[in-house]
Structure 1
Amino acid sequence: MRLHAILRAAALAIPLALLALTAGTFATRADEKVTIQIDGAAVPYYLPLYVAQKEGYFKEQGLEVEFLYANAADILNNVAAGNVQFGFPNGDAVISARANGIPVKVVHSTYQRGIGAVLFKNASGIKTPADLVGKKVAVTSYGSPNYIQLQVMMSQAGKSIDDVKVEIVGTGAILDALKSDQVDAIVFSMLRYYALKAEGVDVGMIASDDFLPSHGNVLVTSDSYLASNPQQVKGFIAALDKALKHIVEGDVEKEVKMAIADYAPTFAPQEKVVTEIIKEVFIKTLWQSEDTKANGFGYGNIAGWQKTIDVAAEYKAIPEAFPAADLVVEKPSDL
């Protein structure tokens, strides 16, 4: 009997010891620290990243994520150099970087479209690109993606960029140039359409993406980080996708309030218009498309990316074209 009791006690002790060992392992396991550098500054339009952080979706994937902000060119250089693990720049900058030999990879085409647009007062009579003939149209620089978009629009209308009176106006002054009628139209961000409307300006818009496919912000990493840390990349994408689903199916107003309060407090007076923009632009046309309905968030349409690359080469924005498949992961879920 005594031997039986000893054996029974030993049998019970083994799983308890294993349980204690397992618990200790999980208790001491540290989340992987990664950094994402985001284009520009903290604005509520980066809502999916903020929701993924706030809701613990990154943590569920074993990631501790730090947010930093910089311009797109610096982001891509830092990603390629391994100074940061992830970047969230605009797609045009990514194409330029890859064309110039910087080894970055788009692992999630977060924005399915670009956000460029021609904005104008409706009183101008402008309705189509052909109506820009003879008009003063402002862009921020001759090297900007918006200038290429204007060239393509005019070409598709059977006209030339020479038919437009192009003016260079800095980012900080371009909206005022339109409001004060210094120019007839500007090629800028479609998000400003809603801001102008909120100010009472009777404004119209022609989306650049209807003429030239492009992308806004996309998730990038380096070729080397993707090869050596596939699980971290997959985990980041899974958290981002979960946050996008959370926003699309949830309470947008609530999430916008969170993003403004916790990340972008200077936008507090614009809470209403930001909510409208998230609902009408990001949810309906930027984060989602026919492609994402069939293939999931972040789908990289290779043909669309290739067209953007080819046009960039045609208009000398990059040295030469290259295969989009070398830059873009088509289905993030296949990584």
Structure 2
Amino acid sequence: MRKVQITLLIAVLWLVAVLAGCAQSSTQPGGSNPSGGTNTSGGGQAAGTTPQPNTAAPASGSGNLQQVTVVVPRTVEVLDDAHIWSAIKMGYFAEEGLEVKIEQSFGTTDTKMVALKNAQFALPSPNFLFMGIENGLPLKAVFQNDSINIFGMAVRTDSGIKTWEDMKGKKVALGDAAWANIINPTLIAAGLDPEKDVEYVVAGENRFQMVQEGKLDILFTWVAEYSQLKGQGFDFEYIDGNEILPYTSNPLVTNAEYLTEDPEMVRKFVRALAKGMYFVKMNPEAAADLTLEQFPSIKIPWDGAVGAMMGRVYQGFGLNEADQQKIVNEGIGIADMDKWKLNMEWAVKTGIIQKEIPLDQVVTNDFVDTTWDKSKVEADAKNYVFKVKDKYQ
């Protein structure tokens, strides 16, 4: 059973960490904010504002590098973006002539920012991508950032909630009301009616604590966030959405116009990001170190940070070694069209979009390079010199 599988995988990593962690806060799906930090990337769309179109090409950064912005749908001060930070700090983006910054978006403004060219890339859930395309936004997925259904529910170990059926009549903590569009298909596939069987409560950055304190029953979460929470001492168990709906999750999305206007920028970003993902897989400790160096305010024991990196690996490569090796062999970032078809079917079935969109209008593998030299990244991972590890032990 997938729930048992993922719980056992993560539990091994947390034998020490769960005894020593400390509680913090978070926002937005596809990444966590247990540090309670703010956006330190140097920008971001202000909450409540409407993005305005940017007609200029991406600017030049320092040293004539092309400046590229990727927006994430929550705070940037997390461990979940370790693959991006790895690509930044190990020089993979710079090798491609890119200077990359990560910015925070709010709600569903990440796709709007990309559509208006205020950012070049975003990492939304497939359902938000479908909704954007249905509403006429020029968006396309170009890289598979998360290869599994990363979303699920976390409950206190003493809650008595062990199955999806047990969730009937319970209160589910969301960071944003729009997150219901992400988890509703899984609830429906599990035999629940989201409108009748559960009550969604938008708890924002306090959602972890409200579930931990028993004020709310269930935390809507995802694999990497749950991994980090366990490492920080939250007494949670995970109920896995992937065992109910084994489809895909957040892709890397760009403005479809860039595919013809600046295809090399897209190829370069995707190639460097793939290297960053592989770096995390080859040395999770190194990825933890460089991300904690970037965000020293994240309070977590070392074992917990490494466990969070394993959560990132599970999201990007799969839950078992066979699945992970298949992605390494066939191409990091290659989209599984069968999974995307399942995403589309459930988006229509649950009313997220009105009708199916041809997949070739949604996602492409044309910009994923499968020929780059893995041995260099393997050497980088092996020879990494730790910067802050000693401070967390």
Q: Partner amino acid for 1:137?
A: K
1:107-146 equivalent positions in 2, closer than 5 A: 107-133=142-168, 135-140=169-174, 141=177, 144-146=180-182
Q: Partner amino acid for 2:67?
A: K
Q: C-alpha displacement at 1:249, in angstroms?
A: 1.4
The CA deviation string for residues 215-267 of structure 1, in whole angstroms up to 9 with x for no partner, is 444211111111121222111111111122222112x22321221222x2321
User: Which residue does 1:5 correspond to in 2?
Assistant: none
Q: C-alpha displacement at 1:108, in angstroms?
A: 0.3
1:282 and 2:285 are equivalent in the alignment: no
Structure 2 gap segments, 5+ residues each: 1-62, 371-393
Structure 1 counterpart SS, 2:166: helix
Distance (Å, rounded) in 1 between the aligned partners of 2:109 and 2:198: 32
Q: Which of 267, 270, 275 pairs up with 1:237?
A: 270
User: Which residue does 1:224 correspond to in 2?
Assistant: 257
User: Which residue does 1:179 correspond to in 2?
Assistant: 212
Structure 2 counterpart SS, 1:172: helix
More helix by share: 1
Structure 1 residues 334 and 72 mapped into 2: Cα distance closer, same or farther (>3 Å)? farther
Instruction: Please say if residues 138 and 174 of structure 1, whose CA atoms lie closer than 8 Å, have aligned partners that are also in contact.
Output: no
Structure 2 counterpart SS, 1:188: strand
Instruction: Please say if residues 39 and 90 of structure 1, whose CA atoms lie closer than 8 Å, have aligned partners that are also in contact.
Output: no
1:71 and 2:106 are equivalent in the alignment: yes
Q: Partner amino acid for 1:144?
A: A
Structure 2 counterpart SS, 1:206: strand
Distance (Å, rounded) in 2 between the aligned partners of 1:67 and 1:322: 29
Q: C-alpha displacement at 1:271, in angstroms?
A: 4.7
Distance (Å, rounded) in 2 between the aligned partners of 1:273 and 1:199: 6
User: Which residue does 1:208 correspond to in 2?
Assistant: 241
Structure 1 residues 324 and 45 mapped into 2: Cα distance closer, same or farther (>3 Å)? same
1:254 and 2:280 are equivalent in the alignment: no
Distance (Å, rounded) in 2 between the aligned partners of 1:162 and 1:68: 33
Q: Which of 344, 347, 350 pairs up with 1:312?
A: 347
Structure 1 residues 41 and 319 mapped into 2: Cα distance closer, same or farther (>3 Å)? same
User: Which residue does 2:188 correspond to in 1?
Assistant: 152
Instruction: Please say if residues 137 and 185 of structure 1, whose CA atoms lie closer than 8 Å, have aligned partners that are also in contact.
Output: yes
Q: Partner amino acid for 1:256?
A: A
- Which 10-residue stretch deviates more, 97-106 or 30-39? 30-39
Structure 1 counterpart SS, 2:190: helix
Distance (Å, rounded) in 1 between the aligned partners of 2:124 and 2:217: 30
1:56-67 equivalent positions in 2, closer than 5 A: 56-67=91-102
Structure 1 residues 287 and 191 mapped into 2: Cα distance closer, same or farther (>3 Å)? closer
Structure 2 counterpart SS, 1:44: coil
Q: C-alpha displacement at 1:116, in angstroms?
A: 1.7
The CA deviation string for residues 52-86 of structure 1, in whole angstroms up to 9 with x for no partner, is 11111112112222332213622212222222222
Structure 1 gap segments, 5+ residues each: 1-28
Query: TM-score, normalization: structure 2?
Result: 0.68
User: Which residue does 2:27 correspond to in 1?
Assistant: none
Structure 1 counterpart SS, 2:257: helix
Q: C-alpha displacement at 1:40, in angstroms?
A: 1.8
User: Which residue does 1:189 correspond to in 2?
Assistant: 222
Query: TM-score, normalization: structure 1?
Result: 0.78
Distance (Å, rounded) in 2 between the aligned partners of 1:209 and 1:223: 29
User: Which residue does 1:11 correspond to in 2?
Assistant: none
Count of aligned pairs: 299
Structure 1 residues 176 and 302 mapped into 2: Cα distance closer, same or farther (>3 Å)? same
Instruction: Please say if residues 126 and 132 of structure 1, whose CA atoms lie closer than 8 Å, have aligned partners that are also in contact.
Output: yes
Q: Partner amino acid for 2:87?
A: A
1:168 and 2:201 are equivalent in the alignment: yes
Instruction: Please say if residues 125 and 182 of structure 2, whose CA atoms lie closer than 8 Å, have aligned partners that are also in contact.
Output: no
Structure 1 residues 139 and 215 mapped into 2: Cα distance closer, same or farther (>3 Å)? farther
Q: C-alpha displacement at 1:177, in angstroms?
A: 3.2
Calculate percent identity across the aligned residue pairs.
Answer: 21
Distance (Å, rounded) in 1 between the aligned partners of 2:157 and 2:300: 26
Structure 1 residues 161 and 84 mapped into 2: Cα distance closer, same or farther (>3 Å)? closer
Q: C-alpha displacement at 1:199, in angstroms?
A: 5.6
Structure 2 counterpart SS, 1:277: helix
Instruction: Please say if residues 266 and 367 of structure 2, whose CA atoms lie closer than 8 Å, have aligned partners that are also in contact.
Output: no
Structure 1 residues 136 and 67 mapped into 2: Cα distance closer, same or farther (>3 Å)? closer
Structure 1 residues 136 and 272 mapped into 2: Cα distance closer, same or farther (>3 Å)? same
Structure 1 residues 152 and 216 mapped into 2: Cα distance closer, same or farther (>3 Å)? same
Structure 1 residues 237 and 97 mapped into 2: Cα distance closer, same or farther (>3 Å)? same
The CA deviation string for residues 167-209 of structure 1, in whole angstroms up to 9 with x for no partner, is 4242333333322333443333344534554465543211112
Q: Which of 37, 52, 60 pairs up with 2:71?
A: 37
Which one has the largest radius of gyration?
1
